[in-house]
């Protein structure tokens, strides 16, 4: 196993990371961990107009939440830092100058107005190639000197060879060749001294000794420009591996119309990081086309780049929900309770998850919902009766079919007496008593439990009743039976 693998995730901090991007980060991380290589986080913030204020923090939070730890990066440093591109401007400027000096690049003085007009004309003429016409590449020395003297702002462009082809090998897409005539003279350094993505990515991948560039397929058309830059610098390019796109169930690019797309939104919707990780690993990669559940360690062990599909991966929300349910059911109840705490705090209006942890027996609460939820956000609605001061239900529900109000009332009184004698935790004894009461009164046990369920929870469908009562405690249960009895009496009172 080689230890020379150095791979990177290089997001631009333009917003909360998209699950499609993070899927690429996951493949990259898995490859690093599988090979014992290094996973590097580099922030590509050279397009300052598109930056978002929380972008960097959202990237760090998304990766940390999923446990995709990095060996080198903006916060942890490393031997090839800084890992934020806006802090490396001098390096890019130096290399842009080097390309100018070697004749691989040239200064372009074209104004934005000229470029827009050129583009519109090309579109109107239905030109097969829309792009820069290389106008400034062929300026005479005198013209160039005149423009410089006038103080006209300039960018630096790559002088793409006018003939021939650029070819490279992609691990997933195979051999790729493109006619140089179709490659634009890409801007490398902008008027403000910032590099474009293309210059920065090549300079950084080289300087950070990246062995494999694993990134989304949308960058495949840019790869020839990068190869030309490697050639111009005389550097050996890394191995390229363009990862399949992530589509929605309708096979269109995964976007807002399919629902949430940011990793942090999935966290807030109650998905477990280990479930999302497992799910994302299978979007565009599979081990044997049938195994679905993989722990993080198993993924690291079995992951390989050659099993990544060339076709797009589909993000199937139903499958994610199913998988999340599998992971929730496999949790230790204490662990599940702990993870429910922030959601309960939010839904119950408590100040913090810790307050929930102090106030309630979360392990017992987790036990009530563990088999019944697919997402952590679904828990509160199933157990909110535990926290209510007053239950809101139609008292007529206290009278089961085929029974009358008087019988229901006597059931409530007798059940009250039973509850007072028993510990709520002794479910077996409690159940035996309630069944004995059913026999004695000649009513079905189901009717007794039905009355009790409404009285204690206010709902007809709840988690298992006796464990719910154990969480609620004896005093609360008895008080709720008393309230139910009063409501039944009021229902029954003659109307004058």
Q: What angle do CA 275, 373, 480 make, to 5 degrees?
A: 150
Cβ count within 10 A of residue 225: 24
Cβ count within 10 A of residue 148: 12
125, β-bridge pairs: none
* Residue number, 44 or 72, with CB nearest to ligand GLU: 44
Asked if 43 and 74 touch (Cβ cutoff 8 Å), the reply is yes
* Residue number, 173 or 414, with CB nearest to ligand GLU: 173
Smallest distance from ligand GLU to CB 12, Å = 4
* Residue number, 107 or 242, with CB nearest to ligand GLU: 242
User: SS3 for 178?
Assistant: strand
Cβ count within 10 A of residue 193: 11
Considering 124, 256, 390, 402, which one is annotated as catalytic? 256
**CA-closest candidate to residue 28, choices 222, 300, 224, 261:** 300
* Residue number, 108 or 241, with CB nearest to ligand GLU: 241
Round to the nearest angstrom and report the end-to-end CA distance of the chain.
89
Residues in the chain: 496
Question: From start to end of 248-385, where are the E strands?
Answer: 313-314
- What gap in Å lies between CA 310 and CA 454, rounded to an integer? 56
Smallest distance from ligand GLU to CB 282, Å = 22
User: SS3 for 12?
Assistant: coil
* Residue number, 57 or 352, with CB nearest to ligand GLU: 57
Whose structure tokens read 């003659």? 494
Smallest distance from ligand GLU to CB 11, Å = 5
Q: Which residue is nearest to ligand GLU (CB)?
A: 215
- What gap in Å lies between CA 111 and CA 117, rounded to an integer? 10
- What gap in Å lies between CA 321 and CA 69, rounded to an integer? 25
Smallest distance from ligand GLU to CB 172, Å = 15
* Residue number, 12 or 261, with CB nearest to ligand GLU: 12
CA 451: distance to chain centroid? 44
Smallest distance from ligand GLU to CB 25, Å = 10
Q: Is the dihedral of CA 199, 205, 206, 212 positive or negative?
A: negative
**Which helix (H) or strand (E) element contains residue 215?**
strand 212-216
**Side-chain half-sphere CA neighbours of 158 within 13 A:** 28
Residues at the contact surface with ligand GLU, assessed by CB under 6 A: 10-12, 44, 201, 215, 219
* Residue number, 17 or 342, with CB nearest to ligand GLU: 17
Burial of residue 468 (number of CB atoms within 10 Å: 0-12, 13-18, 19+): buried
Smallest distance from ligand GLU to CB 234, Å = 21
* Active site annotation includes 256: yes
Smallest distance from ligand GLU to CB 43, Å = 9
Kindly list the catalytic residues. 256
């Amino acid at each position: 196993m080689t230890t020379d693998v150095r791979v990177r995730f290089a997001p631009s901090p333009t917003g909360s990371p998209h699950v499609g991007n993070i899927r690429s980060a996951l493949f990259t991380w898995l490859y690093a961990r599988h090979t014992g290589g290094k996973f590097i986080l580099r922030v590509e913030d050279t397009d300052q107009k598109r930056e978002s204020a929380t972008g960097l923090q959202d990237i760090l939070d998304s990766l940390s939440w999923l446990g995709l730890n990095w060996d080198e990066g903006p916060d942890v440093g490393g031997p090839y830092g800084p890992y934020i591109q806006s802090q490396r401007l001098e390096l890019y400027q130096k290399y842009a100058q080097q390309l100018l000096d070697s004749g691989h690049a040239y200064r372009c003085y074209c104004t934005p107005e000229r470029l827009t007009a050129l583009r519109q004309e090309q579109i109107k003429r239905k030109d097969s190639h829309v792009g820069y016409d290389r106008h400034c590449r062929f300026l005479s020395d005198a013209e160039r000197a005149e423009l410089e003297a006038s103080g006209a702002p300039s960018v630096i462009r790559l002088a793409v060879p006018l003939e021939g082809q650029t070819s490279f090998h992609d691990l997933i897409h195979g051999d790729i060749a493109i006619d140089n005539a179709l490659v634009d003279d890409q801007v490398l350094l902008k008027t403000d001294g910032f590099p474009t993505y293309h210059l920065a990515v090549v300079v950084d991948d080289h300087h950070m000794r990246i062995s494999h560039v694993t990134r989304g397929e949308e960058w495949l058309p840019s790869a020839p420009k990068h190869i030309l830059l490697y050639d111009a610098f005389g550097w050996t390019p890394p191995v390229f591996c363009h990862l399949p796109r992530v589509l929605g169930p309708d096979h269109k690019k995964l976007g807002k119309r399919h629902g949430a797309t940011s990793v942090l939104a999935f966290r807030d919707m109650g998905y477990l990081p280990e479930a999302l990780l497992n799910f994302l690993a299978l979007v565009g990669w599979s081990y044997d086309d049938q195994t679905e559940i993989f722990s993080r360690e198993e993924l690291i062990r079995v992951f390989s780049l050659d099993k990544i599909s060339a076709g797009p991966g589909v993000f199937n929300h139903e499958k994610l929900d199913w998988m999340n349910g599998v992971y929730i059911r496999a949790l230790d109840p204490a662990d599940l309770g702990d993870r429910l705490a922030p959601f309960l705090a939010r839904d119950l209006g408590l100040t913090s998850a810790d307050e929930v942890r102090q106030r309630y027996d979360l392990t017992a609460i987790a036990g009530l919902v563990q088999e019944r939820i697919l997402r952590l956000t679904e828990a509160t609605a199933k157990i909110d009766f535990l926290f209510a001061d007053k239950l809101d239900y139609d008292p007529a529900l206290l009278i089961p079919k085929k029974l009358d109000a008087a019988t229901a009332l006597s059931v409530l009184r007798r059940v009250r007496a039973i509850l007072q004698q028993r510990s709520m935790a002794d479910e077996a004894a409690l159940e035996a008593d309630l069944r004995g009461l059913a026999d004695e009164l000649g009513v079905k046990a189901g009717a007794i439990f039905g009355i009790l369920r409404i009285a204690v929870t206010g709902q007809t469908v709840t988690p298992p009743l006796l464990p719910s009562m154990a969480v609620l405690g004896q005093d609360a249960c008895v008080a709720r039976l008393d309230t139910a009895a009063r409501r039944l009496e009021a229902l029954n009172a003659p109307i004058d």
